[in-house]
Amino acid sequence: MYKKLERNAPCWCGSGKKYKKCHQNFDEKIITFEQAGHIVPDRSLIKTPEDVEGIKKSAVINVAVLDEIGDKIREGMSTQEIDDIVMDVTKKMGGIPADLGYQGFPKSVCTSINNEVCHGIPSKDIILKDGDIINVDCSTILNGYFSDSSRMFCIGNVSPEKKKLVDVTKECVEIGIQNVRPWTFLGDMGEAVHKHALSHGYTIVREIGGHGCGNAFHEDPYVSYVSTAGTEMLMVPGMVFTIEPMVNAGTDEIFVDEDNGWTVYTADGKPSAQWEVEVLVTETGCEVLSW
């Protein structure tokens, strides 16, 4: 159960204020949702102003890295060259690539091409070709704070079918952002994203979704984009999580590369696209921290 403190006790958030002057009303509102049977965030998921400032500084690096990749990505480039850019820019700006070594991941960034859904491993032997679409998923640590976002890039003359997939997936993220509202549910956002993908004949991967982020790379809650309105965790001000639907042109079924244990592919070989942003829930909606 969500426990309130004594009214005159120091608030749990570390503000130094008395509980009654700080988070008491906030907690009472959460308790009403919990008593109604809803999933609510615990206090560890509510970021302090200090946390938010740290995450934003980390995000400055994350965004700069993706901007640099956007300037330099081209046909004939190896995905290892992308990894080199990530490492170089991140280190120069004082950060650490969060992907490198995470649960044994061998590189500094994920580069997923065409029918690769996510977790593609950069290599000097993988060369970008005319007509490819690629997701570059970058994550950064700065002073213990984490940021995470990804972008799609179209290489050369991309087919209209692939271009539409990339564009609609970006629209899905934008719809997700519009549907992050305090005191509503992650399922409200997830259903809106899913409906948009389905309206274009696409599917969304079920097994992999977004996640809390900021004080650790992957935190609660798990963020699904095939969820139902009125379900999943209550969104409240101070939560930080990613919006990153993986949208497939064909089936939503996937499989993992047996050799490297990381790269996820579409089961039917059709292309997949993903954009990712990291958002902070505010009193009126959300603020995009990394994109």
- Cβ–Cβ < 8 Å for 236, 183: yes
| pTM of the predicted structure, to 2 decimals | 0.96
The HSE-up count of residue 257 (CA atoms within 13 Å, CB side) is: 15
3-class DSSP assignment, residue 78: strand
Dig out the tokens for 80 from the structure: 């290892």
List the chain domain ranges: 29-290
Q: Reduce the DSSP state of residue 84 to 3 states and report it.
A: helix
For residue range 17-68, list pLDDT tens digits in order. Answer: 999 999 999 999 999 999 999 999 999 999 999 999 999 999 999 999 999 9
pLDDT computed for residue 1 by the predictor: 64
Beta bridge partners of 118: 264
Query: What is the C-alpha to C-alpha distance for residues 11 and 171, in angstroms, rounded to an integer?
Result: 40
Cβ neighbours of 36 (radius 10 Å): 9
Mean pLDDT per 10-residue run, the chain (291 residues)?
Answer: 85 92 95 96 95 98 98 98 98 98 98 98 98 98 98 98 98 98 98 98 98 97 98 98 98 98 98 98 98 97
Token pair, residue 50, equals 């200090």
Give the H or E element holding residue 170.
helix 160-178
What phi, psi does 112 have (nearest 5°)? -115, 120
* DSSP SS3 for 108: coil
| pLDDT tens digits along 250-284 | 999 999 999 999 999 999 999 999 999 999 999 99
Is there a contact between 238 and 183 (Cβ–Cβ < 8 Å)? no
Cα→Cα distances 169→7, 25, 197, 199, 200, Å: 47, 38, 7, 12, 10
Q: Which CATH class is domain 29-290?
A: alpha beta
CB within 8 Å of 260: residues ≥ 6 apart: 121
Task: Give whole-number Cα distances, 257 to 106, 119, 150, in Å.
Answer: 15, 10, 21
Q: Two tokens at 211?
A: 């996640």
**For residue 24, how far is the Cα from the chain centroid?**
30
